[in-house]
Chains A and B, each alone.
Chain A
Amino acid sequence: MSKTKKSVLVVIAVIVLVTVYVYYRYATKVFDTYKYEEEERAPSMTNVPAGSKEVSSVIKYWATEDKEDTLRFVLTVDKDGVIINAQTLDAATNQVPEKKIEFNEGLVLTLKGKKLSELTAIDKIGTSSLTTKAFNDALGDLKSQL
């Protein structure tokens, strides 16, 4: 075996040993912690309807300049994947936090939307108001200036 090949084998052996050490020293603890958090995840305050499921996510934020807090966002999703409830809970107590209203960033989602024609028994549609008559008048004036 050449000297170069020997060196390569030594380097590979060192890498394997270091990897095994790091895995047992740190990674298993990370996995344990993750598992612990999953097991400790308490149910939300809602009764989940049959066929629905809850998903939740914990986020940290600075409640004051020197105090970090955690909140849990809980979504209830029906069998078709439609979000039917969204809650914000104190992650530590799983209760609605007293100062929740001051939490300020909201939950960021992607909504697909649904065709209005597919919704039933709708009394009204909340919408941004259409172009005003006054603005239409102004447009006419602007066009006349072109």
Chain B
Amino acid sequence: MQDITFTGLGTHWSVMVDAEEFSVAAQTAVLEYVQDFEKRFSRFLSDSEVNHFRLAQAGEHTLSPELAKLLSRADRLRTLTAGAYDPAVGFLLESAGYGMSEAGSPGKPEDFVVPQWSLVGEKLTIHGPVAFDLGGIGKGYCIDQVAAIVRDWGYEYYLVDGGGDMVATTKADGSAWRVAIEYPGKPDMAASVIELVQGGVAVSDSFRRRFGQWHHLVNIKERQSVTAVIGCAAWAPDAWSADCMTSGLFFSAPQEYGALTKEFQASYLLFQKDGTVRVGPDWPGILL
């Protein structure tokens, strides 16, 4: 088993290949992609693509194919959550203290007005300045792209872990990767163990990335962080779908979980603030 570890998108990464060697060229390709992804899509970097619209005039803007793809998925998630999830939440996050306020930010959360935007193909239409934040969908996409790079370099068996979200094939002997699902808020405890084979896993909770009374999962319509759900884990055919599933669960009512399950072909564990756990149909893991 060979691996490479590094920091990217503000978190720890590990790419494991079940092979005799992991070439320097392949490792370099992985590192370069993640660095480039961060440079292009991080809200924390002022010249990133997602920050191009902070001072933009109302009108139509042409996006890069990759940003269009990301925003298209975000748009779909916005629809599935009836607008509670919205990547145009950047200014609100900043006004609440998550990330340094830069040009365009409102002074206080109560002054925030939900930016209007729509997307057709690669054409983005905005009604005024927008700060996009791809948290909740961006990392899963990046993990899958890293996996594609690893595959392109000829490695058949791998696990790509981006800060606790991951995608994997089998190991070379055909066996599964045993993945423990952390219990939200209890870093030394597991809630489940999955035998991960050809699929993605994502985990999200409201205990990390807190700022004052807020955490990073903010309902843009209510201008406040989600409180009904304290954490969730999702299993799906790929990391991007799993990542989107966890975001969808945070921002949806229980009666919408079926639509999310169908959309992302996923299953889930959802940890509620009353201490109970909702287990989605076909959750593939052992519950502990």
Query: Which residues of A approach B to under 8 Å, CB–CB?
Result: 82-84, 86, 88, 100-117, 119, 121-135, 137-139, 141-142
Contacts and interface: CB of A to CB of B under 8 A. Distances in A.
Contacts of B211: 135, 138-139, 142
B236 interface: no
Interface in B176-193: 177-184, 186-193
B256 interface: yes
Given A102-B262, A108-B278, A129 B283 contact: no
Contacts of A128: 164, 182, 184, 203-205, 207-208, 231
A114 B187 CA distance: 11
18 contacts: A84-B286, A101-B281, A104-B257, A105-B255, A106-B281, A111-B191, A113-B191, A115-B190, A116-B180, A126-B164, A126-B181, A126-B182, A127-B203, A128-B207, A129-B163, A130-B11, A134-B99, A137-B44
Contacts, number: 181
Nearest to B163: A129
Interface of B: 7, 9-12, 14, 42, 44, 97-100, 139, 159, 161-166, 177-184, 186-194, 196, 201-205, 207-209, 211, 231, 233, 254-259, 261-262, 268, 270, 272, 275-283, 286-288
A134 B287 contact: no
B18 to A, nearest CB: 10
A126 B202 contact: yes
A131 B276 contact: no
Contacts of A142: 97, 211
Contacts of A141: 100
A138 B189 contact: no
B270 A122 contact: no
A53 B229 CA distance: 31
Majority secondary structure of chain B interface residues (helix, strand, loop or mixed)? strand
Contacts of B275: 110
Contact of A83 (B164, B201, B204, B287): B287
B184 A83 contact: no
A131 B180 contact: no
Nearest to A78: B286
Contact of A116 (B161, B190, B256): B190
B39 to A, nearest CB: 13
Contacts of A127: 163-164, 182, 187, 203
Which of B14, B98, B275 counts the most chain A CB atoms within 10 A?
A: B98
Contacts of A135: 10, 98-99, 209, 211
A104 B11 contact: no
B230 to A, nearest CB: 10
B194 A126 contact: yes
B180 A119 contact: yes
Contacts of B10: 129, 131-135
Given A105-B278, A113-B189, A134-B99, A123 B177 contact: yes
A11 to B, nearest CB: 45
B287 A138 contact: no
Given A113-B186, A115-B189, A134-B42, A126 B180 contact: yes
A122 B211 CA distance: 32
Contacts of A109: 276-279, 287
